[in-house]
Amino acid sequence: AQSVTQPDIHITVSEGASLELRCNYSYGATPYLFWYVQSPGQGLQLLLKYFSGDTLVQGIKGFEAEFKRSQSSFNLRKPSVHWSDAAEYFCAVGPGTNAGKSTFGDGTTLTVKP
Amino acid sequence: GAVVSQHPSRVICKSGTSVKIECRSLDFQATTMFWYRQFPKKSLMLMATSNEGSKATYEQGVEKDKFLINHASLTLSTLTVTSAHPEDSSFYICSASTPDSTDTQYFGPGTRLTVL
C-alpha cells in the first residue's frame, strides 16, 4: 500500500525566510512524486514532479524538491518566501501510469508573516 | 496549456434535490478524468475515475447511485449528486490527464456544495 506523511500540519515563516516542507512516503515500487499548492477555495496547482533522473527537481514559483530514496523523503524548499506563497501544500505519490491513483498527504498549511 | 474548468464554483441546494457539476478540459482532450472530494482541512479523497464512453470506476465505499458520473465527450465529465443531504456538503474537485501524459493530472478549481 502506498502512503504519504506530511509531518507538519501548520508552518509559519517570515516573509523572505527560507522554507522547507517535509514529505515522507511509502511505496512498493519506483515512486512518482508530486507537490501541489492549493489556495483557499481553489483547486490544486502542480508545483513540480519527480519521476527519475536528477534527484533535485526545479518547479514553478521558485520551488524545488529533493528526492532522497534512502530516507523515503521528498521535501519541498524555497530559499525566500513571499507573502503570496501562503497556501495549503500537498505531497502525493503514485504510479506513473495512472495519475488518478495518487495518494495525497494531509497537507501542510503555510502562513507567511510580514 | 492543460486547463481544467469546473462549473459551478459554488452551489447551494435544498436537501433531497440533485445537483450537477461539470468538469471540462479546455485545451486538450481528456480520455480520463477523476473526481475527488475534499473535507475541510483534509486531504483529497478519490471518488471515481471517469472514462470517456464507458462507465465510471468508483472507489470502494463510494455509492455509485448517489454520485452519478457521465463522461460523454473527450472534454466534459459531469458529477451528479442525487438526492443530496447535508452530509454531502463538501468541496468537489475534478482533474484530468492528457493522453500523452497519463502520469500527471491537472486540477479544476473545485466546486463548493452546500446542502441545506
* Amino acid at site B3: V
Residues with Cβ within 8 Å of residue B18, at least 6 apart in sequence: B80, B81, B82, B83, B84
pLDDT tens per residue, range B55-82: 899 999 999 999 999 988 889 999 999 9
Instruction: Provide the shortest C-alpha distance from residue A97 to chain B (in Å).
Output: 5
Question: Residue A70, by phi and psi: left (phi above 0), alpha (psi -120 to 50) or beta?
Answer: alpha
Q: Which residue has the cell 500523452?
A: B100
The CA angle B104-B105-B109, to the nearest 5 degrees, is 150
Taking the Cβ of residue B95 and every Cβ of chain A, the question of whether any pair is shorter than 8 Å is answered with: yes
Residues with Cβ within 8 Å of residue A54, at least 6 apart in sequence: none
Cβ <8 Å between A100 and B110: no
The CA angle A15-B40-A95, to the nearest 5 degrees, is 85
Cβ contacts of B97 on chain A, cutoff 8 Å:
99-100
pLDDT of residue A41: 79
Taking the Cβ of residue B97 and every Cβ of chain A, the question of whether any pair is shorter than 8 Å is answered with: yes
Which band of pLDDT confidence, cut at 50, 70 and 90, is reported for residue B1? low
pLDDT at residue A56 above 80?
yes
Which range, A92-101, B33-42, B64-73, has the best average confidence (pLDDT)? B64-73
Residues with Cβ within 8 Å of residue B21, at least 6 apart in sequence: B6, B7, B8, B11, B78, B79, B80, B81, B92, B94, B111, B113
CB contacts < 8 Å between A and B, how many?
Answer: 62
pLDDT tens per residue, range A5-34: 999 999 999 999 999 999 999 988 888 999
